[in-house]
Amino acid sequence: MVEVTARAMAMLHSCIPGTGWVPGDKPSLRKSSSDPSLGKDFMNSSFTLIKQKELKKGDVCCRASYNAGDVTWPTSGTPYSDPNASGNRAAQWQSSCAVFSSQWASTQLEEEKGLEDVPTIHENTDLEVPARDLLTLPKPLSVTDLALQPRHGSQLRVAYQGVPGAYSEAAASKAYPKCEAVPCEQFDAAFQAVELWLVDRAVLPIENSLGGSIHRNYDLLLRHRLHIVGEVQLAVHHCLMALPGVLTSDLKRVVSHQQALAQCEHTLSKLGVTREAVDDTAGAAQFIAANGLRDTAAVASARAAEIYGLNILADGIQDDSDNVTRFLMLAREPIIPRIDRPFKTSIVFTLEEGPGVLFKALAVFALRDINLTKIESRPQRKRPLRVVDDSNNGTAKYFDYLFYIDFEASMADPRAQNALGHLQEFATFLRVLGSYPMDITPCQP
């Protein structure tokens, strides 16, 4: 039997990111596979590490065989390759890592002191910031700024998309109350800022109760290798705002983030003005203030009105008073999944075409009484269309999709481990995006 050390886990984690592997290199975490506390599944698993230093994309990195209770699969000489292009064995390996690491992690909860703890979601206590000189506001990062060296300091730096006053900034403060919120021009810049160690975390919107999913972030989750370490829900309360002295009857145009415009469809239709989408709500308010536009209003937060010196013409203009946006907290490393509080797990997978395959995929959760909270499908860019010649009457064409699912269980829960073990019997690719505490706090703005 191979001795599995925490160091080996950390190395495996770094060579196969995105799998839920738990990092750690402390000697106290050293465990032998003969340790009975690790349980039957751990005892049945063996891992061999092959020169981690020499690993690069496409290399053979590990051999493993793993038994997850109701499913057994061997993986040997599995290449580490791009999930979009990978075969079934790479998918199996990734999920084996995720399942295995979760089982290992669940035995470690009390011993882990040095690793990051599960983030606690706090209620937003103080969003009121005195009006500041516009010139002193931090400039959003753009992709070209990303060559900057990271700053060192003890305060957690959290990237968000937009400028100060954006809802995403409020979400970052709700997720990490004492953080330094770092504005970024685009979602992609926020992902890259974390990957390049310019910031420690990113907080990005993923779905809204009125506008639906933020597809761009679903796509970026797969393209980048960050882990979901938490979620935060924010009540979004929109205001219509303009320069002081401007009346609603003076307005010819309303500018805002496209999601915010969609969330206020009803009010804006009644106004009968043209609508223009910009990068973020607070950016719209800043744009009006900076250009002295007297025929234009913005849809943004009350805090944005305060920062940019605009007057609120109408308050609570969203179509539904319960307008909530869910944000994801992203980090370079996963957190250790736990079972002592409500957890959610997010996964992405692909399936072969065939009758009832999606039904079978969803059944792995239903069979184990696991509640699904979200399902989203996105076209697979590398393989958008598959042509199958399986009849005498011509060719059939199918779109290929990636399925994103959130379910209510921790990866430390054997039901989740077995469900994913079952799913990978027919999934062509499977990646665990994160297992993280559910935000169960009331949705305060």
Ligand X SMILES: O=C(O)C(=O)C[C@]1(C(=O)O)C=C[C@@H](O)C=C1
Helix (H, G, I), strand (E, B) or coil at 69: coil
Q: Which of 5, 108, 281, 435 binds ligand X (CB under 6 A)?
A: 281
Closer to ligand X by CB, 280 or 400: give it: 280
Closest contact distance (angstroms) between CB of 270 and ligand X is 20
Residue 329, number of CB atoms within 10 A of its CB: 27
CB of 377 to ligand X, least distance (A): 20
Task: Return the residue of 259, 286, 345, 417 that touches ligand X, per CB under 6 A.
Answer: 259
Distance between CA atoms of 47 and 87, rounded to whole angstroms?
21
Of residues 198-217, those binding ligand X (CB under 6 A):
205, 208, 214
The DSSP line for 39-56 is: HHHHHT-EEEE--GGG--
Does the active-site annotation cover 373? no
- Name which of 330, 436, 352, 420 is nearest 88 in CA terms: 352
Which among 98-106, 165-173, 312-320, 431-439 is the span making contact with ligand X, rule CB under 6 A?
165-173
Both structure tokens of 429: 């690719």
Question: How far apart are alpha carbons 297 and 322 in whole angstroms?
Answer: 23
**Shortest distance, CB of residue 140 to ligand X, whole angstroms?**
12
Which range in 44-52, 135-143, 257-265, 364-372 contacts ligand X by CB under 6 A? 257-265
CB 264 within 8 A of CB 278: no
Q: How far is the CB of 161 from ligand X (least distance, A)?
A: 7
| Distance between CA atoms of residues 303 and 166, nearest Å | 8
From the list 54-62, 105-113, 166-174, 178-186, the region that binds ligand X by CB under 6 A is 166-174
Tokens of 96: 């084996």
Q: Does residue 282 interact with ligand X by CB under 6 A?
A: yes
* Footprint (CB under 6 A) of ligand X, residues 236-255: 236
Please, which residue, 236 or 430, has the CB nearer to ligand X?
A: 236
Site size with ligand X, rule: CB under 6 A: 15
Q: Is there a contact between 160 and 184 (Cβ–Cβ < 8 Å)?
A: yes
Distance CA 400, CA 379 (A): 6
How far apart are alpha carbons 419 and 437 in whole angstroms?
A: 19
Phi, psi of 429 (to 5 degrees): -155, 140
How many CA atoms lie less than 13 Å away from 37 in the CB half-sphere?
10
Exactly one of 260, 335, 409, 416 binds ligand X (CB under 6 A); that residue is 260
Select 187 or 349, whichever has its Cβ closest to ligand X: 187
Residue from 100, 167, 191, 436 in contact with ligand X (CB under 6 A): 167
Nearer to ligand X, 5 or 323 (CB): 323
Q: Does 218 help bind ligand X (rule: CB under 6 A)?
A: no
Please state the closest distance from residue 206 (CB atom) to ligand X, in A: 9
Q: Which of 42, 47, 187, 327 is catalytic?
A: 327
Query: Considering beta carbons, is residue 29 or 240 the nearer one to ligand X?
Result: 240
Q: Figure out which of the listed residues 168, 318, 410, 417 binds ligand X, where binding follows CB under 6 A.
A: 168
**Phi, psi of 369, deg, nearest 5:** 60, 35
Q: Exactly one of 19, 281, 325, 350 is catalytic; which is it?
A: 325
Whichever of 78 and 318 has its CB closer to ligand X, that residue is: 318
Contacts of 261 (CB under 8 A, 6+ apart): 254, 268, 275, 277, 299
325 catalytic residue (yes or no): yes
**Region of 236 on the Ramachandran plot (φ > 0 left; ψ -120 to 50 alpha; else beta):** beta
Interface pattern 74-103 for ligand X (x via CB under 6 A): ------------------------------
Which of residues 88, 95, 318, 325 is near ligand X by CB under 6 A? 325
In terms of residues, how long is the chain? 445
| Ranges assigned E (strand) in 209-361 | 212-213, 227-235, 239-242, 253-257, 274-278, 296-300, 311-315, 324-331, 343-351
- Which residues have a catalytic role annotated? 325, 327
Sites of contact with ligand X (CB under 6 A): 162, 166-168, 205, 208, 214, 236, 257, 259-260, 280-282, 325
